[in-house]
Every structure is written in structure tokens, then in C-alpha cells.
Amino acid sequence: MPNHFSAIGFKINSEEEFDSVIGGLLKTDLDQCVTPQGIYLRWRQDENFGPEIWFQVVNDNVVGVDPFFRGKSETVVGITDKIEIPGATPLDALMHAWAEPESAEKIDSGTYPFAFDMISLQAYENVAIPGLEKLSLCAMAQEVDIYENEQAYNEAQDPETPSLAPESFIPTGLFGPEGGAQFTPRPEAVFAGRILETKLMKNAHTGQEFHWVLVKTLGATVDVVIDPVYVKKPIKVGGIIAGSFYLCGDFR
């Protein structure tokens, strides 16, 4: 079944396979970052471009594992707050931010707010929250459609329902249940965007393929990674991609 790990070439079908494949990375040469809250261990395929796995270690125990893709996206956001997550590890960080903030003095407004999973917040000692930051923003496809061009995208829209513009972004993770009940925001969004670059990549650890797509959406550029099972049509530069995504990021 497609998931965030298979989006970067780690197709895992059982707990035993997870322990073998992902746990096996702990025996390789990993980057290490020691913080007061615990230790981050990072497996990375290449230094500045490619899939990564981040292990969270607290009191000598692995308490979290996060997949990530470090690509070419570069988006300035206004980070307004760290969102409290029930049951979070000391190294988890769910962030609330604004795309295209008005200024360094007014970061709590902009094109739209959204939430994202910050992969390694505690590794940065001098981050000011609230504040402006430059992100490498990764979107892991949960559902996706590919269109050859803008005309094909527009023709596929249902005339009976409101449609998304070719560059649009809806921060669905900030939408709570009806009635105003308390909820924890999620690092998720529905967006459409233009395909700037694309590449069929291979995970060096597993040999499995996945798609990387650099996308220009409303207010941001995003590195989209996709399990091939979702790709029903060729991905071409100049086309449109639209779907539902899990958002994670790290500072540039």
C-alpha cells in the first residue's frame, strides 16, 4: 500500500519488513546531530538532493522515524508557532506558517496559512519563532492526478462544482470538524501546480523507483515525491499536477 516511505522508494508491507529495511539503515554511516532533547540520525542518499530518513533517538531508544526528500524547492515562509501535538516525541515539531508573508514585521498574514512537519527543528539553536525562514518543502503524494498541460487540466474539471486554478493551494490540514470542536492541525494540503522539473529516481538502498517533481503552486515551490503506483500518465515539464499531499520541511 502506498505511503510516505514508498513515496521515496521504501516500499514496506509489514512491520517485519520495516524493521529489516528501515532498521537496517541504522547500521550504515549516518549523520548525527545531538540536541538537549535527543539525537537526530540522518540517512541520506546524496548530500544536497535526494531521499532521506531521519531517526529520533531519546535515551538510547529510537522514538520516531521520518521520511523526507531534500530537493530544489526554496520557499520563504513566516513561521508563527509550534503546534502542540498529543503524544509527540521531544524531537517532533508541527509548525504553523504563512506562505508569502507580508513582511518580516508582519508574518502572521500572507497568501494562506498552512501546517507542516518540521523534520529537524531541535537541530537549529538560533531559530526565532515567530520569524521568517527559508524552507525546503516536500509534499508526499497521497492522491494525485497528472495533466499534460493547462488546457487538459481545465477540460477535466467538473463544470458543476468549483474548480482549483492551475496554481492553487488549500490548507486542508487546518480545517477542523464542524461545530468548532477542538482538533490538532495536520500537515496536509490539496493543491495544484505547474511542473517545472521531473525525474524518475531510484532509491540507492532498496533499488526501488519513485518520481520527483518540482512544482510551482500558489505561494510556493514544492518538491513533490510520488509512489509510481499513483502515476497513470506521463509526467512532463509544462504539465499540471493536482492532488492531496502530506507536507514536511527543513530549513535551507
Over its length of 252 residues, how does the chain's per-residue pLDDT go in tens digits? 678 999 999 998 888 888 899 989 999 999 999 999 999 999 999 988 999 999 999 999 999 999 999 999 999 999 999 999 988 999 999 999 999 998 777 888 899 999 999 999 999 987 888 899 999 999 999 999 999 999 999 999 888 777 789 999 999 999 977 666 678 899 999 999 999 999 999 999 999 999 999 999 999 999 999 999 999 999 999 999 999 999 999 998
pLDDT at 213: 98
* Sequence-distant (≥ 6) Cβ neighbours of residue 89 within 8 angstroms: 38, 56, 58, 63, 64
Please indicate, yes or no, if residue 217 is contained in any of the structural domains.
Answer: yes
Same structural domain, 16 and 37: yes
Range of the domain at 103: 75-136
Same structural domain, 157 and 242: yes
User: Which of 71, 67, 72, 73 has the alpha carbon at shortest distance from 205?
Assistant: 67
Q: Is 163 helix (H, G, I), strand (E, B) or coil?
A: coil
Alpha helices in the chain (DSSP H): 15-21, 150-155
pLDDT at 108: 86
| 110 neighbors 122 (Cβ within 8 angstroms) | no
- Domain-terminating residue out of 38, 70, 102: 70
What are φ and ψ of residue 8, in 5° steps?
Answer: -120, 25
User: Which of 23, 65, 31 has the alpha carbon at shortest distance from 48?
Assistant: 31
Please indicate, yes or no, if residue 184 is contained in any of the structural domains.
Answer: yes
| 146 neighbors 239 (Cβ within 8 angstroms) | yes
Same structural domain, 119 and 150: no
Please indicate, yes or no, if residue 125 is contained in any of the structural domains.
Answer: yes
CA dist., res. 22 & res. 82, Å (int): 28
| 41 neighbors 31 (Cβ within 8 angstroms) | yes
Residue type, position 224, single letter: V
- Domain-terminating residue out of 45, 70, 95: 70
Same structural domain, 93 and 20: no
pLDDT at 231: 94
Q: How many C-beta atoms lie closer than 10 Å to residue 107's C-beta?
A: 21
Q: What is the 3-state secondary structure (H, E, C) of 98-158?
A: EECCCECCECCCCCEEEEEEECCHHHCCCCCCCEEEEEEEEEEEEEEEEECCHHHHHHCCC
Task: Find the radius of gyration of the CA atoms of the chain.
Answer: 18
Same structural domain, 178 and 208: yes
Task: Give the global pTM.
Answer: 0.94
pLDDT at 98: 96
Please indicate, yes or no, if residue 201 is contained in any of the structural domains.
Answer: yes
C-alpha cell at 209: 523507483
Please indicate, yes or no, if residue 1 is contained in any of the structural domains.
Answer: no
What are φ and ψ of residue 7, in 5° steps?
Answer: -65, -20
Same structural domain, 144 and 131: no
Same structural domain, 91 and 149: no
- Domain-terminating residue out of 70, 98, 126: 70
pLDDT at 92: 95
| 99 neighbors 169 (Cβ within 8 angstroms) | yes
Number of domains in the chain: 3
Burial (CB < 10 A; 0-12, 13-18, 19+), residue 88, is: middle
